[in-house]
Structures are given as C-alpha cells and as structure tokens.
Amino acid sequence: MKKALILDLDNTIYPVSSIAGELFHELFSFLNEHIDDANLIYNIKEDLKRIPYQKVADKHNFSESLKNKGLALLNNIEYNLPIQPFDDYTHIREAKITRFLVTTGFTKLQWSKVRMLDIEGDFEAIHIVDPALSPLTKKDIFASILEKYNFKPEDVLIIGDDPESEIKAANELGIDTFLYDPKNKHPDAEAIYRSQNLKDAAVVALNS
C-alpha cells in the first residue's frame, strides 16, 4: 500500500473544458483582437485548456508585449462559479490515504478553483507552482514532499494527466506514476500505470 497520493488539479480532478469559456473569456477576446490566424487562435485556445499560459505563449512565439498583456489579464482573475469534479474523483476522495495537491498556474486563480470544487479538505497540503512568482517546478515540490514527510519514492503514487509535466517529473524522481487519460490521448506516454478511470488509481494505491 502506498503511503500518499500526489495529484494534479487541471484535467485530473476536473475537466478544464467545462469552465474554459467563462474562465478565459477576456483572454480569448484579447487574443482574437491581436492574432488574425484562425487556425492559430484555435490551437492556442486548445492548448490553454491543458498547458500553463507561459508555456503556451512560448510555444506559439508570442511577442514579449503580447505575452505580458496576457499575463496581466490572468494574474488577478478568479473563478467564482461552481465546478464539478470528474465523477470518478469520488474514489480518490474516499480512499483512506494521505493526499497532496500540486498544481501549476496563477496562485489566485488556482486557489479559487480549489474553493469552487470544495476539495481543500481532501488534502494534507496544497502546493501551487506559480511560474510568475517562483522558479520552483513540480519536480522540486515532489522532492520537498518526500523529504518533509520522510517518504521514499516507492511510498508515493503521482496521479496526473500530462506526460510532459507531473508524470515526467515523477519518473525522474523514481516515483510511481499513474496517467489519468480518460480519452486515451497519450497511448505511448511513459507511465507505470494508466487508466481512463480514477478508481483504478485508488486501487493501485491501496494494493501496491
């Protein structure tokens, strides 16, 4: 049995697509005004549903001015409407195991999502990796959790949807990984475990 779970937030506990239109309305309008390429706009909007803004801006070669104006729009926003977690998150919530939340994004925004999801009480600690405020990465936070709680890598299971973020960081630390991939988008990703259902993550954690 694992001693702890470390979960990602966006697209792991809830689907970003369910709130993206409302959440990014102002940013999307701003981008529509400054980018003429419809295909590029579409790709940017899709990326914003799964990748931190700074990485999206770099990926699509935003000018420094465009990137900074987007940052200014996002830095102080909050989401204040109810958010529904994935149905299968209940299996994680009910598992008798210590849980941590580690998410990347804007501090104020990520905390607002946690409140609207009503999940703060589900976790021993919540860590927000905010690239605008600190150079720390998810890998740094994972390592600090191991150290603070005297966990060995084999004591922990990291659950997330992004092979290039939390899954990659966990692999580098030798921590078991569970790729939550409900739409089977990443069939070739390197993860110890994978499933389309979070119930399987709870089973792995309690039986490995």
The CATH number covering residue 202 comes to: 3.40.50.1000
Confidence grade of residue 208 (pLDDT, cut at 50, 70, 90):
confident
Cα-Cα end-to-end distance for the chain: 5
Give the Cα separation of 189 and 208 in Å (integer). Answer: 21
Q: What is the dihedral of CA 4, 10, 13, 14, to 10 degrees?
A: 180
Does the pLDDT of residue 142 top 90, yes or no? yes
Across 169-193, average pLDDT: 95
Choosing from 29, 48, 75, the residue where a domain stops is 75
Is pLDDT above 90 for 76? no
CA distance 89 to 200: 11
Closest listed residue to residue 157, CA positions, set 8, 3, 10: 3
Query: Which residues are registered as beta bridge partners of 158?
Result: 6, 177
Let me know whether 30 and 96 are in one domain.
no
What gap in Å lies between CA 139 and CA 102, rounded to an integer? Answer: 10
Sign of the alpha-carbon torsion through 69, 17, 97, 165: negative
Tell me which of 41, 56, 75 is where a domain ends.
Answer: 75
Round the average pLDDT of the chain to a whole number and report it. 95
Q: Of 50, 75, 100, which residue sits at a domain end?
A: 75
pTM, two decimal places:
0.91
Q: What is the pLDDT of residues 6-63, one digit of tens each?
A: 999 999 999 999 999 899 898 999 999 999 899 999 999 999 988 889 999 999 999 9
Give yes or no: residues 106 and 173 share one domain.
Answer: yes
Q: Taking residues 66-71, what's their average pLDDT?
A: 91
174 in the same domain as 127? yes
Say yes or no: 169 and 113 in one domain. yes
Residue 182 belongs to what domain range? Answer: 4-15+82-207
Distance CA 57, CA 55 (A): 5
The total domain count for the chain is: 2
Check whether residue 183 and residue 103 sit in a common domain: yes
Residues 88, 51 share a domain: no
**Given the structure tokens 């299971």, which residue do they identify?**
157
Q: Is the predicted pLDDT of residue 109 greater than 90, yes or no?
A: yes
* Residue appearing with tokens 């790729």: 179
**Which H or E element spans position 113?**
helix 107-117
